[in-house]
Amino acid sequence: MVKRVLVIGLLGVLIGVVAAPLSVFAQDKVTFGIVTELSGFGAVFGMRWERGVLMAVDEINASGGILGKKIETFTLDTKTEAPVSVAAMRKAVERSPFVVIGPIYSGSNLACMGVLQQAGIPHFTGAESPTITQQGNMNIFRTCLNAELGMQKVVKWLTGDLKVKNVALVWANTEFGRGGHDAMVKLLTPKGVKIVADVSTETGQTSFAGELSRVKASGADTLFLYMHEEESGRILPQIREMGLDKSMRIVGHTTLMSEDALRLAKEAANGVMGHVGESAAAAPLKPVAARYEQRYKEVPDHSFYKSYIGTMIVKAAVEDIRSFDQQKLRDYLHNRTLCVRNHPEILLDVHYDEKGDIDRDSFLVKIENLKQVVETVLPPLHPEWFTSCKK
């Protein structure tokens, strides 16, 4: 009996000796989950989204981590399908990450965000549909402007600077496209701007002859495009072939000026103008763009910036609260301004409102020689939120 007690005691000591280093090791790590589109229609953008997180994590780890903890990551593929995104998010929850970053596509986020909400794991997304933050989900935070807030800047530019009177809208019939379209209609109508053509398009569409014929017959002075990158790149040469760029302005939003759209459209993209949330040509973002180009041999797009900045925002917030408590992180970010002077890694001053939407600088760009050129910086919609960053 004595021998048995001694054996059990010795086993307990040995287990404690083995478990102690493992426990210490676990405390030296924090896990970030990446759930994004690595296959399907959104694979290119999901690839860059993943790159944004991984590049930020590499830089954070190289500088000592967050509060002394190194970040480890895992990636799960949504296949650009909403039902798959739900399954991927459930798998992510099983791995108990501190935060999950992604997906990009609005429809996937709407389908899967409840999984993280129920698990209490903070969720950071690059999706733009206003619907996402209208659900009362206090667990989700954007890494970019939502479409309606972005369109407020666009409409101010269209009506104030360009004096637009008659506009044709051509938009993608997806959750992303509908969000931008509905915001434009809502904001333009009170300004007295007539929507003389309102045309939806489909994902994967290659010919836009019928849609553009309607635009041509509408008498619009401005054509606003709000489509995914691939369709944007395909429609621009067709616009030029029909001569529409001679009779009306061609303007749009982030996806129209993206690197993938420019690659498809070639010279037909030159002269196009629009609003972008992030641009490699913007002074605050150029240093990161240079590092990305050196690493990946291409110009970074908005998907990369959204996830890179989002990852850095998590770092900044955790360092401010001095804790990896998920509830404290959520509470801290709501109605919070983060300043570059305190956290240079976030690149742009940012404010989170009570719903998890952000406000910050964005950019009006023009395409010249197939490159974005920043025409002007568009200030936050609520500059009063940023007074602490100017002191």
pLDDT per residue as tens digits for the range 55-87: 999 999 999 999 999 999 999 999 999 999 999
Average pLDDT over residues 17-44: 74
Cα–Cα distance between 37 and 34 in angstroms, integer?
A: 10
| Predicted local distance difference test score (pLDDT) of residue 390 | 87
Proportion of the chain above pLDDT 90, given as a percent: 90
Cα-based distances in Å from 39 to 36, 47, 91, 251: 9, 9, 17, 30
| Predicted local distance difference test score (pLDDT) of residue 223 | 98
Closest CA to 97 of 78, 82, 83, 76: 76
| Predicted local distance difference test score (pLDDT) of residue 5 | 41
| Predicted local distance difference test score (pLDDT) of residue 181 | 94
| Predicted local distance difference test score (pLDDT) of residue 16 | 43
Q: Are strands 362-368 and 273-276 parallel, antiparallel or unpaired?
A: antiparallel
Q: pLDDT confidence of 312, banded at 50, 70, 90?
A: very high
Q: Which domains, ranges and CATH numbers included, belong to the chain?
A: 29-144+284-360 (3.40.50.2300), 148-276+365-390 (3.40.50.2300)
Closest CA to 75 of 56, 61, 89, 55: 89
Tell me the per-residue pLDDT of 325-381, one tens digit each, with 9 for 90 and over.
999 999 999 999 999 999 999 999 999 999 999 999 999 999 999 999 999 999 999
| Predicted local distance difference test score (pLDDT) of residue 358 | 97
Q: 307: helix, coil or strand?
A: helix
Q: pLDDT confidence of 27, banded at 50, 70, 90?
A: low
Mean pLDDT of the chain: 92
Average pLDDT over residues 127-149: 94
Edge to edge, the sheet with strand 99-101 lists: 70-77, 29-36, 99-101, 123-125, 140-142
141, 113 Cβ separation under 8 angstroms: no
Tell me the per-residue pLDDT of 183-236, one tens digit each, with 9 for 90 and over.
999 999 999 999 999 999 999 999 999 999 999 999 999 999 999 999 999 999
| Predicted local distance difference test score (pLDDT) of residue 10 | 41
Q: 250: helix, coil or strand?
A: strand
Q: pLDDT confidence of 245, banded at 50, 70, 90?
A: very high
| Predicted local distance difference test score (pLDDT) of residue 232 | 97
Residue 18 scores a pLDDT above 90? no
